Structure 1
């Protein structure tokens, strides 16, 4: 005599669950997810290692037409770098802009000071972004 589950499986054409196939699918899915995660982690590590980092050190608003910005860059190699430096007013509008070229050298960390002309009095000065030349 068959159990009720066996009768229902036979009636509706369901096959009995094979635990080993189910376990194998779970293991394959987990291994695939782990491989994807490791690939992503390696990609992020390599991408981050090749980025230029900038740190604003100081700014001085000299007068309504000029400001001075001091910043530091950290680069992964000695290649030349260009940084976009800007002065902002109270409304966060750019009132002064300059692209500063830091020449190639063996130094990985370089501190730079630059003066910018402004169209009106600014309230802050900062580095917007940096890129390899």
Structure 2
């Protein structure tokens, strides 16, 4: 009886792959593992080593040192900056307001402060800068001294506040 040439009942084996035989040749599991190993070697990333406890300890120590240095840097940088506190304001006229504030600074520092006047919509209607140098020791409590500044305004102001103070070199 003629056989159909389009059907193949024999399993095909790729070239270069050991074939199975009845006399104890390679099993299909060994062939699969060998092929997987070769593909892994050729195309896969190299296996990563697990980090050792010692390397994890060094990373932890380095991270702690960096975090500590950052905190110390923030504390030291902020300690030299003058601090302000708005105390109040007095509306003198539609074109002038007086701001009262306190400044805490090192006694030897010369500080310049920006003070602004705001209207009811919180828009700036006046701005001035004032320089604070040496303050009479009788007027200083600790390192804090009180100050008053007049601000000319373009429109009616409803409040006044210190925006920022900085040390002049």
Q: The TM-score by the shorter chain falls in which range?
A: 0.7 to 0.9
Which residue of structure 1 lines up, in the alignment, with residue 20 of structure 2? none
Report whether the alignment pairs 1:48 with 2:78. yes
Q: Quote the Cα distance in structure 2 between the aligned partners of 1:120 and 1:127.
A: 19
Alignment size in residue pairs: 123
- Choose from 158, 162, 168 the match for 1:123: 158
Report whether the alignment pairs 1:76 with 2:106. yes
Return the structure number with greater strand share.
1
Q: Quote the Cα distance in structure 2 between the aligned partners of 1:76 and 1:39.
A: 24
Alignment of 1:102-121 (within 5 A): 102-105=132-135, 107=140, 108-121=143-156
Check the 8 A contact 1:58/1:69 in 2, yes or no: yes
What stretches of structure 2 of length at least 5 have no aligned partner?
Answer: 1-32
Which residue of structure 2 lines up, in the alignment, with residue 4 of structure 1? none
Alignment of 1:20-99 (within 5 A): 22-99=52-129
Q: Quote the Cα distance in structure 1 between the aligned partners of 2:108 and 2:99.
A: 22
RMSD: 2.4
Deviation of 1:25 (Å): 1.2
CA deviation string 1:110-130 (max 9, x = no partner): 100111111111111000111
CA deviation string 1:49-107 (max 9, x = no partner): 11110100001122201111100011134211111111011222211111111122465
Per chain length, whose mean CA-contact separation is higher, i.e. which structure has more relative contact order (CA < 8 Å, sep 6+)?
Answer: 1
Q: Quote the Cα distance in structure 1 between the aligned partners of 2:75 and 2:127.
A: 32
Q: Quote the Cα distance in structure 2 between the aligned partners of 1:41 and 1:132.
A: 22
Runs ≥4 in structure 1, deviation > 3 angstroms? 11-15
Check the 8 A contact 1:81/1:104 in 2, yes or no: no
